[in-house]
């Protein structure tokens, strides 16, 4: 990381180059890749850049504050660590490094069910958090119940319930690479594989434990079990968002899983306005997918998101420089957001609104 001095958004791409050079082909492609033709993955990135900004001038921006409150948690910037599997692929310290960087930056680390460290181990390295825990609904509801209760008992402040994975996607890179995670990696939060071999993180076999019969009626279960708020992650429609909130979700994440599930799914920047409108302030709205700069964060907030989640760039930072690399990524995004706010004449997160975008050019408008 010593060779890297992040000064602009393009440095996230530079960081990815460093990560690519350090990682095995299989691991790099597993993180970088998407489903099928990777159309949605590319569309996510492109849709943010397509949103033109209409900055204000001649406003006092001598003090810009990027901090905000999300489901009761104060963060230094509305940039969260997205849940992503197996940080041990990128760095020996795995999720411990990511969690430390997130805590130091002052944002929420969302720990993945498929993490290489247990939720207790990650809680032990960042006792003060803030942390959220992501899971799927398992066929064995008792297993999910125990997980969310363990999350509550170890200080996770919310449960992120991923709902976009009723089937396994086909990821060409992983198929071509015959990708299998290195055998030393464990996924201690997941149920044991059907083979009974808990030591083999065969994600495909493990994912068979997710329940494809889960419905809106189940959305409130994690809250009933743990008392924690639930954020439903992985929807792109206003009606689904509205129903999730009506069923007790505290928020939703507009997400197509980084283009890793159904290829052809609408880009999240294009889906976001409909979801914001449907939720109508009844819950929090988060978005992920293709956020690559602080300016993209501003665009997401201008479309009505409360915060963004960042996935791949975090892993590139982790591979390039461990905890320090993740800190560099979060700092870069936070500083870019502050700079974009100054350019736009806004000093507080709550002042960022749709008027800052060329609404006539909004994605999807013909």
Please give the positions annotated as active site.
Answer: 257
Tell me the CA distances in angstroms from 313 to 19, 259, 328, one per residue in order. Answer: 10, 15, 10
Question: Who's near 363: CB < 8 A, 6+ residues apart?
Answer: 47, 50, 51, 267, 269, 270
Question: Who's near 212: CB < 8 A, 6+ residues apart?
Answer: 166, 167
Nearer to ligand GLV, 256 or 347 (CB): 256
Backbone angles phi, psi at 345, to 5 degrees: 75, 25
Nearer to ligand GLV, 77 or 161 (CB): 161
Nearer to ligand GLV, 138 or 260 (CB): 260
Residue ranges in 259-278 that form contacts with ligand GLV under rule CB under 6 A:
260
Which residue minimizes CB distance to ligand GLV?
260
Q: Report how far residue 109's alpha carbon sits from residue 113's, in angstroms, rounded to the nearest whole number.
A: 13
138 near ligand GLV, rule: CB under 6 A? no
Closest CB 52 distance from ligand GLV, rounded Å: 31
Q: Report how far residue 43's alpha carbon sits from residue 25's, in angstroms, rounded to the nearest whole number.
A: 24
233 near ligand GLV, rule: CB under 6 A? no
85 near ligand GLV, rule: CB under 6 A? yes
Q: Which of 257, 292, 299, 312 binds ligand GLV (CB under 6 A)?
A: 257
Task: Give the SS3 label for residue 201.
Answer: coil
Residue ranges in 312-331 that form contacts with ligand GLV under rule CB under 6 A:
none
Closest CB 31 distance from ligand GLV, rounded Å: 8
Nearer to ligand GLV, 85 or 262 (CB): 85
Cis peptide before 360 (omega within 30 of 0): no
- Count of residues of this chain found to bind ligand GLV when the rule CB under 6 A is applied: 3
Nearer to ligand GLV, 169 or 220 (CB): 169
Closest CB 88 distance from ligand GLV, rounded Å: 14
| 8 A C-beta contact, residue 54 and residue 356 | yes
**Tally of CB atoms within 10 A around 317:** 34
Closest CB 156 distance from ligand GLV, rounded Å: 18
**Residue 162: strand pairing partners:** 233
**Residue 233: strand pairing partners:** 162, 253
Closest CB 210 distance from ligand GLV, rounded Å: 10
Positions touching ligand GLV (CB under 6 A) are 85, 257, 260
């Amino acid at each position: 990381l010593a060779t890297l001095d992040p000064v602009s958004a393009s440095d996230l791409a530079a960081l990815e180059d460093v990560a690519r050079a350090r990682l095995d082909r299989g691991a790099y492609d597993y993180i970088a890749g998407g489903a099928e033709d990777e159309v949605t993955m590319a569309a996510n990135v492109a849709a943010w850049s397509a949103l033109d900004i209409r900055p204000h001038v001649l406003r006092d921006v001598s003090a810009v504050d990027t901090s905000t409150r999300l489901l009761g948690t104060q963060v230094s910037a509305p940039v969260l660590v997205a849940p992503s599997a197996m940080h041990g692929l990128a760095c020996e310290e795995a999720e411990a490094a990511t969690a430390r960087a997130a805590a130091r930056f002052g944002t929420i680390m969302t720990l993945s069910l498929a993490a290489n460290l247990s939720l207790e181990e990650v809680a032990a390295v960042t006792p003060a958090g803030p942390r959220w825990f992501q899971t799927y609904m398992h066929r064995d509801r008792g297993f999910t119940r125990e997980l969310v209760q363990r999350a509550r008992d170890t200080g996770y402040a919310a449960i992120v319930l991923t709902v976009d994975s009723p089937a396994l996607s086909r990821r060409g890179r992983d198929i071509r690479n015959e990708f299998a995670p290195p055998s030393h990696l464990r996924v201690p939060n997941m149920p044991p594989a059907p083979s009974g071999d808990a030591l083999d993180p065969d994600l495909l076999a493990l994912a068979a434990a997710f329940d494809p019969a889960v419905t809106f009626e189940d959305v409130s279960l994690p809250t009933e079990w743990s008392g924690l708020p639930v954020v439903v992650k992985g929807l792109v429609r206003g009606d689904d968002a509205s129903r999730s909130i009506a069923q007790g979700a505290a928020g939703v994440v507009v997400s197509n899983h980084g283009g890793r599930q159904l290829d052809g799914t609408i880009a999240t920047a294009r889906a976001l306005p409909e979801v914001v409108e449907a939720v109508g302030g009844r819950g929090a709205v988060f978005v992920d997918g293709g956020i690559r700069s602080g300016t993209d964060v501003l665009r997401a907030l201008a479309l009505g998101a409360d915060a963004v989640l960042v996935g791949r760039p975090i892993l590139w930072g982790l591979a390039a420089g461990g905890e320090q690399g993740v800190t560099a990524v979060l700092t870069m995004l936070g500083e870019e957001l502050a700079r974009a706010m100054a350019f736009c004449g806004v000093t507080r997160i709550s002042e960022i609104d749709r008027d800052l975008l060329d609404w006539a050019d909004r994605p999807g408008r013909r």
